[in-house]
Every structure is written in structure tokens, then in C-alpha cells.
Amino acid sequence: MDRDQKFIGESTAFLDAVERASRAATLNRPVLVIGERGTGKELIAERLHHLSPRWAGPFVTLNCAALPETLIEAELFGHEAGAFTGATKARAGRFEEADGGTLFLDELATMSSGAQERLLRAVEYGEVTRIGSSKSIRVDCRIVAATNENLPGLVETGRFRADLLDRLSFEVVTLPPLRHREGDIPVLADFFGRRMAIEVGWERWPGFGPKAMGALVGYEWPGNVRELRNVIERAVYRWEEGKPIDTIEFDPFASPWRPQGAAAKPAMTAEPGPAQAVAVVEEPDTTDFKAACEAYEKRLLEAALKRCRFNQRTTAVALSLTYDQLRHALKKHALLDRTS
């Protein structure tokens, strides 16, 4: 999520987490922020900083997963010139940069055991020692750490230090995933949709149709709010202004020409594609089996043509038919005049 993103939501689970962070902000104690990817952990960290007495000080971030094990300690604690190959001059670490403010450690669970040990000492004594130096430096910064891992479980398996966890978990703010934030999806969708409509120059906001909103609410959102924002903004810019948005595409990689590997999955859309339509067969209210089958086949063809913008070759690929087979089916149902 972007740093300029506001807190949007009205569900009890979400508001409780924000309230807990707000109450902990005034205390000069470490805070752990736990949550799935895309739930807004860095936003909570920023809230903890800006509502604290340290608000005028620096807010320094370090993504522990973005650095190799050999460099993370140098980034955290700094180094002297010649401390290792490539260290041509002395450099202050993130602890020194955050002096008087807040140090946010994202992806804490990826930190190496050596870095965990040095971090524990820094938290306990308020001192850091640059790599290649024997002189300790006093630092005054508040630690806020975030992870999407089960830290107590990692302690049990020996992958995380129990004493470090004890020091960092004065308060733990656990963010609920979007699928458990009842009522927040329509609110967020409307917010992101309106903002994107302004960006693309729409004169009015048409909102979402019932089919699109039903798909949004029914989706599991493994990427949470970050994924929701991408889906909404993509739907808005692809839509023709005027009528309510009623088509949602969750998978940006969806294409008839998508490489088919072991991990490939059918695209999930608010407007079912041909493959999805085959999977759901409504029982027709008729006693004429042949007529019902032909009517259903025609509906499948019409849906596939619409999804593929009435391009015959694309439609044939989407339905796993040869071009000649598709032409025969279109001719049978008098649909040739509607294609290109």
C-alpha cells in the first residue's frame, strides 16, 4: 500500500486494530504489527510514529527481506571504512539515522540469527556498534517491527530468538485480513474507484453494478487491500464511462495466449468466461432435451464471443475449438454476422 493511503474502513475488527495502535503510540515501547501481505502494516507503523512524542523525529524503514544476510547488519548498525570489501568509507546505520525517531523493521522474521542477536543488544542497552569498530554509540529510537509470520511458532522451531520476541512484543497489533472486514469491501471499492475516475478524467462516478459488487464481496482477496486497489483501478480505466461498472477481472494475466504451466489457474472474473460457464449448468425448465442443449450451446457461444470482442480466432482458442469447428457452430446458431 502507498504511504499516502488513508485508513478506510468501518468494520469492528479493523477499527479495533487501529484503536489499539493509537493507544500504544504515546508510549515509548516497541510494538509488533502482524498481518497478511497488503493489510497495511506500514501504515500502522507510520501512525504509531506520527501519534507519538517522536512525531517530529525521523521515521526510518528497513525491509529485512530485501537485503542478503551479509549486508543486513551493515545496514542496521553501520560500518567503518575498510570493515569489509567494498566499504570504502564509514557509513551510519539505520539505528543512527533513526535517533530521536522511529525505526520500522519490515519482514522481521527473515532476519538472520546473527542480526537478531545484535538487534537484541541494541534494544536492551540502546547502544549499537558499527561493523569494524570497537566503540559503541548511544541511540534513542523506538522500534516498530512487522511480519506476516507466526513468530511464537518460529520460536518453537528455533528460527527466532525467544528473548528478542519478548523484548519486541510489549504490544502486538494484529491486522485483520480484508475477507474478515465485514462491510469494508464496498467502502474501499467506492473510494478507490472514485479516485481512479478522477485520474482518468471522468465527469461523474457511475459506481459498480450488482454483478461486479457481488464478485468483489465474494472474492477471498489473498493480497488484501493492495490487491483490491489494483483490481478496482484496472476495472475503472478499462471501462467505458457512463454506465455502472459491471465487469471485474481479478487476474491481470488472463489471456487466451497465457502460457500454460503447472501453476496456471483459470482467470476469475465477475463476468464468467466460456470455461467458467461450462462448469455451471442451470437446469432448464423444458422437456425438449435437444432444444435445451442447443439453446445452452448458443448462450455459451454468445458469452465467449462477447468476452473475446467477437473475434473468431480468439474465441476458438478460448473454447478449445479449431477455427473450422467454431465457424460451423456459429453458422448453426446464425451468429456469423455478429463476428469479425
List the CATH number of the domain containing 212.
1.10.8.60
Measured between alpha carbons, how far is 90 from 71 in angstroms, rounded to an integer?
A: 14
The one-letter amino acid code at 33 reads V
Element (H, E) at 332: helix 323-332
Predicted confidence at residue 51, as pLDDT, reads 96
Residue 277 pLDDT > 50: no
**Do 16 and 143 belong to one domain?**
yes
Predicted confidence at residue 325, as pLDDT, reads 82
Summarised one tens digit per residue, pLDDT across range 1-33 is 444 457 899 999 999 999 999 999 999 999 999
What are the angstrom distances between the C-alpha of 228 and each of 1, 184, 219, 304?
10, 11, 10, 26
Does the residue 30 lie in any domain? Answer: yes
Where a domain ends, among 241, 271, 301?
271
Summarised one tens digit per residue, pLDDT across range 284-335 is 556 777 888 888 888 888 888 888 777 787 787 788 888 778 888 888 888 8
Where a domain ends, among 271, 288, 303?
271
Predicted confidence at residue 111, as pLDDT, reads 92
The residue-averaged pLDDT of 228-236 equals 96
**Do 183 and 247 belong to one domain?**
yes
Measured between alpha carbons, how far is 87 from 131 in angstroms, rounded to an integer?
A: 10
Does the residue 118 lie in any domain? Answer: yes
Does the residue 220 lie in any domain? Answer: yes
Number of neighbouring beta carbons within 10 Å of residue 328: 11
The residue-averaged pLDDT of 83-99 equals 86
**Do 89 and 206 belong to one domain?**
no
Does the residue 70 lie in any domain? Answer: yes
**Do 74 and 102 belong to one domain?**
yes
* 284 Cβ contact list (under 8 Å, min separation 6): 292, 295, 296
Confidence band, pLDDT 50/70/90 cuts, at residue 276: very low
Q: Residue 268 in 3-state DSSP?
A: coil
The residue-averaged pLDDT of 189-212 equals 94
Residue with cell 467477437: 310
**Do 187 and 162 belong to one domain?**
no
**Do 142 and 49 belong to one domain?**
yes
Measured between alpha carbons, how far is 214 from 209 in angstroms, rounded to an integer?
A: 9
Residue 243 pLDDT > 80: yes
- Rg for the chain (alpha carbons), in Å? 27
**Do 66 and 138 belong to one domain?**
yes
**Do 128 and 17 belong to one domain?**
yes
Residue 202 belongs to what domain range? 179-271
* 205 Cβ contact list (under 8 Å, min separation 6): 193, 194, 197
Measured between alpha carbons, how far is 237 from 193 in angstroms, rounded to an integer?
A: 9
Where a domain ends, among 236, 271, 306?
271
Does the residue 1 lie in any domain? Answer: no
Measured between alpha carbons, how far is 320 from 301 in angstroms, rounded to an integer?
A: 12
Number of domains in the chain: 3
| Domain CATH code at residue 87 | 3.40.50.300
**Do 65 and 170 belong to one domain?**
yes
Residue 97 pLDDT > 80: yes
Does the residue 5 lie in any domain? Answer: no
Does the residue 245 lie in any domain? Answer: yes
Does the residue 7 lie in any domain? Answer: no
**Do 225 and 240 belong to one domain?**
yes
Predicted confidence at residue 241, as pLDDT, reads 72
HSE value, Cβ hemisphere, 13 Å, CA-based, for 331: 6
Element (H, E) at 119: helix 113-125
**Do 196 and 82 belong to one domain?**
no
% the chain with pLDDT above 70: 89
Measured between alpha carbons, how far is 21 from 25 in angstroms, rounded to an integer?
A: 6
**Do 261 and 276 belong to one domain?**
no
Summarised one tens digit per residue, pLDDT across range 138-151 is 999 999 999 999 99
The one-letter amino acid code at 231 reads V
Measured between alpha carbons, how far is 168 from 191 in angstroms, rounded to an integer?
A: 35
